[in-house]
Amino acid sequence: MSFKEDVGTGLSENPKYLSSRYFYDAEGDKIFQAIMKMPEYYLTNAEFEIFSTQAEQILSELDVNGRKFDLVEFGAGDGFKTRILIERLIEAGANFRYIPIDISENVLNTLKSDFQKRFPDLEILAENAEYFEALESINRKSENPKVILFLGSSIGNFLEDRTVRFLNALYAVLNVGDFTLIGFDLKKNPKTILEAYNDKQGITKAFNLNLLKRINRELEADFDLEAFDHYPYYDPETGFAKSYIVSLKKQTVNIKGLKKQFVFDAGEAIHTEISRKYGINQIETLFENANFNVSKHFFDCKHYYVDTLAKK
């Protein structure tokens, strides 16, 4: 479905929702870069620490020993954390191509030109695609052994059934002996988690409300941003961090591009994002149910976050 159709569907439902995949337009990409630099958003630093200090261990688990392989990355973003892993792989003499995949063409172009400068000898095959589309096309692109990266806790943005479908689809495209390395945010003090999605500077608020701005820009709508607020919520029992946009008064919004008006009650919420937090047992069960063998968990020093390596 297109942005326009999805907005029409989501705002017509009760309760209303909008998909977090639409956060990432040019402006959203920029705000997300700022989020990753926030001290409250511990996820990026944790994964950066894991790759800075444990890349050799990751490499030794991969057991590539001079064999050529493809390092495929789903949701590559600006490659900030992958950069350090790639640096270490090159230093260790690994023989690989890099295949970054992202839904944002904008971010992918930046990544490609940055990596071409940093790693002039690295072969890069960037692909602008949605995850499930990319999974389908991956074997047409490459017959080499594969290591598929899905970092940054992006898997946490999937609902349960999508997570299961993703892991099953991943398993189906891999050959026996191939690996996947997936970043999961772990359950921890709920206050730490909530702060990561509720920074005092209002960067996450701007990120969430940019969805309304995007609808204004692309679908000629008249959302008054002052009349909506950002509401993050974390449930330590389920591990679901959820973000909402809440209407601060009863109001009607006109979306010209849809030739439709939408009524919001005072206090009515639009669900925009889920960022799931996991326990280690849940992660192991997820992989086991998809037939993967968990090779090793790589934790940061605070055990806030884990990159789990699993083998087909």
Binding region for ligand AVI (CB under 6 A): 35, 43, 152-154, 156-157, 197, 204, 207, 273, 275
> Counting beta carbons within 10 angstroms of the beta carbon of residue 122, is it exposed (0 to 12), middle (13 to 18) or buried (19 or more)?
middle
How far apart are CB 138 and ligand AVI at their closest, in Å? 21
How far apart are CB 40 and ligand AVI at their closest, in Å? 10
How far apart are CB 49 and ligand AVI at their closest, in Å? 17
Rounded Cα distance, 8 and 257, in Å: 10
Closer residue to ligand AVI, CB minimum distance, 273 or 300: 273
Closer residue to ligand AVI, CB minimum distance, 43 or 286: 43
Closer residue to ligand AVI, CB minimum distance, 44 or 54: 44
How far apart are CB 232 and ligand AVI at their closest, in Å? 8
Please spell the DSSP secondary structure of 2-17, one letter per residue.
-HHHHHHHHHHSSSEE
How far apart are CB 76 and ligand AVI at their closest, in Å? 12
Closer residue to ligand AVI, CB minimum distance, 74 or 207: 207
Give the residue closest to ligand AVI by C-beta.
Answer: 275
Query: Quick one: which of 129, 103, 101, 80 has its CA closest to 26?
Result: 103
- C-alpha dist (Å) from residue 237 to 104, 188, 276, 279, 303: 33, 11, 11, 11, 19
Residue pair 246/220 in contact by the 8 Å Cβ criterion:
no
How far apart are CB 120 and ligand AVI at their closest, in Å? 29
Closer residue to ligand AVI, CB minimum distance, 74 or 264: 74
Amino acid letter, 189: N
Instruction: Count the neighbouring beta carbons within 10 Å of the beta carbon of residue 159.
Output: 11
Q: Provide the 3-class DSSP secondary structure of residue 56.
A: helix
Closer residue to ligand AVI, CB minimum distance, 43 or 134: 43
